[in-house]
């Protein structure tokens, strides 16, 4: 379980989020929606301490993973990143073979003998095994975008993280690859706590257990049509985004 408590973040004088308190329950999918520039990526990067090197980045409050504040000084950031995996909008594959990409994060922690089994296991999980099993030695850059996105997911899963952060992973994919990723994410929630950033509201509502909206530095649950029966879902979405009705 992840919990932000009175959490604020800023780049220099520019406040991004203020005094947030909310939780992501374990083994569930939370979707995060919000306009461009509202701070979605900043929050994800905060959860694996990827903003540490940005000079003017400041935080206040705490971010708890399993009850432990990840910003306390004794945190082992490498261990944190094994626990909290992140997948970006654009698949970032390394200029290495498909096999070497998948094994990248664990190549020094599991024996060479175990590596092929781990590679096969995670490639099967992301529905990529059948497509690549005969070309594992080829450069990963020869794969299509949709395949590369599933490959980056396999690379993250190989590390067996507890938390999966996904930053608009389907925004540059065709409908077939998008459906494959959505199906996959739903199959993973038994094992992982998932935070999924998306622009697609329908996607958020169909796959997530809870939908959060980030707006003007605040995070709040999406008010669903069920909670406000007299309002259409389109109107609700417009309301929470602050669009004119």
Interface with ligand ADP (CB under 6 A): 11, 16, 34, 36-42, 54
**Least Å distance between CB 96 and Mg ion?**
27
Contacts of 48 (CB under 8 A, 6+ apart): 80, 81, 84, 85, 86, 165
193 scored as a contact of Mg ion (CB under 5 A): no
42 scored as a contact of Mg ion (CB under 5 A): no
**Least Å distance between CB 164 and Mg ion?**
16
Q: Which stretch binds Mg ion (CB under 5 A): 37-45, 57-65, 152-160, 230-238?
A: 37-45
**Least Å distance between CB 10 and ligand ADP?**
9
148 binds, among Mg ion, ligand ADP, none (CB under 5 to 8 A by kind): none
The tokens of 37 are what?
Answer: 């520039």
Q: Which stretch binds Mg ion (CB under 5 A): 1-9, 32-40, 129-137, 147-155?
A: 32-40
In the complex with ligand ADP, which residue's Cβ is closer, 125 or 167?
167
The only residue of 41, 152, 156, 177 in contact with Mg ion, by rule CB under 5 A: 41
Q: Please count the other Cβ atoms lying within 10 Å of the Cβ belonging to residue 63.
A: 20
- Are 106 and 119 in contact by the 8 Å Cβ rule? The answer is no
In the complex with ligand ADP, which residue's Cβ is closer, 11 or 104?
11
**Least Å distance between CB 158 and Mg ion?**
25
User: Per-residue DSSP letters for 23-84?
Assistant: EE-TTSEEEEE--TTSSHHHHHHHHTTTTTT-TTEEEEEEEEETTEETTSTT--HHHHHHHE
Residue 186: which H helix or E strand, with range?
Answer: helix 175-188
193 binds, among ligand ADP, Mg ion, none (CB under 5 to 8 A by kind): none
User: Per-residue DSSP letters for 210-244?
Assistant: EEEEEETTEEEEPPPTTTSTTS-HHHHHHHHHT--
**Least Å distance between CB 199 and ligand ADP?**
9
β 218-221/2-11 pair status: unpaired
Give the footprint of Mg ion on this chain (CB under 5 A): 40-41
């Amino acid at each position: 379980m992840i919990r932000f408590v009175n959490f604020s973040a800023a780049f220099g004088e520019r406040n991004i989020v203020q005094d947030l308190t909310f939780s992501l329950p374990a083994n569930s999918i939370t979707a995060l929606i919000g306009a461009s520039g509202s701070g979605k990526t900043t929050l994800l990067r905060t959860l694996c301490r990827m903003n540490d090197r940005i000079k003017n980045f400041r935080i206040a409050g705490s971010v708890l993973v399993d009850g432990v504040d990840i910003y306390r000084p004794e945190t082992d950031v490498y261990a944190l990143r094994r626990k909290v995996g992140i997948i970006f909008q654009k698949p970032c594959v390394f200029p290495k073979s498909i096999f070497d990409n998948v094994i990248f994060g664990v190549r020094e922690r599991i024996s060479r003998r175990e590596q092929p089994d781990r590679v096969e296991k995670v490639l099967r999980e992301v529905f990529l095994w059948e497509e690549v099993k005969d070309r594992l030695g080829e450069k990963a850059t020869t794969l299509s975008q949709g395949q590369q996105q599933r490959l980056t997911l396999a690379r993250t899963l190989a590390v067996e993280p507890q938390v999966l952060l996904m930053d608009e992973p389907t925004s540059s994919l065709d409908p077939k690859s998008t459906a494959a990723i959505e199906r996959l994410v739903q199959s993973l929630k038994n094992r992982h706590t998932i935070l999924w950033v998306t622009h697609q509201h329908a996607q958020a509502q169909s796959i997530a257990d809870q939908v959060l909206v980030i707006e003007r530095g605040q995070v709040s649950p999406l008010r669903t049509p069920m909670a406000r029966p007299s309002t259409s879902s389109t109107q609700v979405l417009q309301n929470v985004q602050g669009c004119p009705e």
